[in-house]
Amino acid sequence: MRILIVYGTSYGQTRKVVEFLAERVQQQSASVEVREAGRAGGVDPADFDATIVASSMQMGAYRPAVIRFVRRHLAGLTAKPSVFVSVSMAAANTLHRQQAMAELDKWLARFSAKSGWTPARVQHVAGALPYTRYNFVTRWIMRRIAEREGEATDTTRDHEYTDWQELARFADAFLASVKTADTGAPA
């Protein structure tokens, strides 16, 4: 089985998520090809058994290179099993969970409208607050937002919220569904 993973990241957490997914896929004897969306070149999801598209979301928008990749390869994404992994701090919000999920749904609808793709499955993954990689203005803004949302405000270090066990369960379930689709066996 061959799996394609295409991603776009803002500060590196989505790349970390994708590397984890790739390792998990390989542990289950599947081959995986990982490409950054802006450098995906001639890679076509139609040439793989399944595709995982992952993007960080920042200020209500997913990475433009991911949107362009999805638009270009819409037929391949819809012809075979595919999933969208949305990485954001909104997914980490426990203080205002319902409101955060409503916002994520709104941003996902915008992504679908811009890309033309409505993924059959979306996995929301909590991201990180990489304060040490932000410029002064972004660090100040993100600290204010984090304070309001009850998240970490120590700007001298980075804070990771990704639930790696949940991500492993997602990867296993996705691979199982691809294997089932490939063999035609009932789920």
Tens digits of per-residue pLDDT, 122-163? 999 999 999 999 999 999 999 998 888 888 899 999 999 999
Cα separation, 130 vs 133, whole angstroms: 6
Token pair 């993007």 in the structure block, residue: 55
Prediction pTM value: 0.89
Cα separation, 76 vs 44, whole angstroms: 7
Name all domains of the chain by residue range, CATH numbers in brackets.
Answer: 2-127+162-183 (3.40.50.360), 130-159 (no CATH)
Q: In this predicted structure, what is the pLDDT of residue 99?
A: 81
Tens digits of per-residue pLDDT, 94-116? 656 778 788 889 999 999 999 99
Upper half-sphere CA count for residue 129 (Cβ side, 13 Å): 27
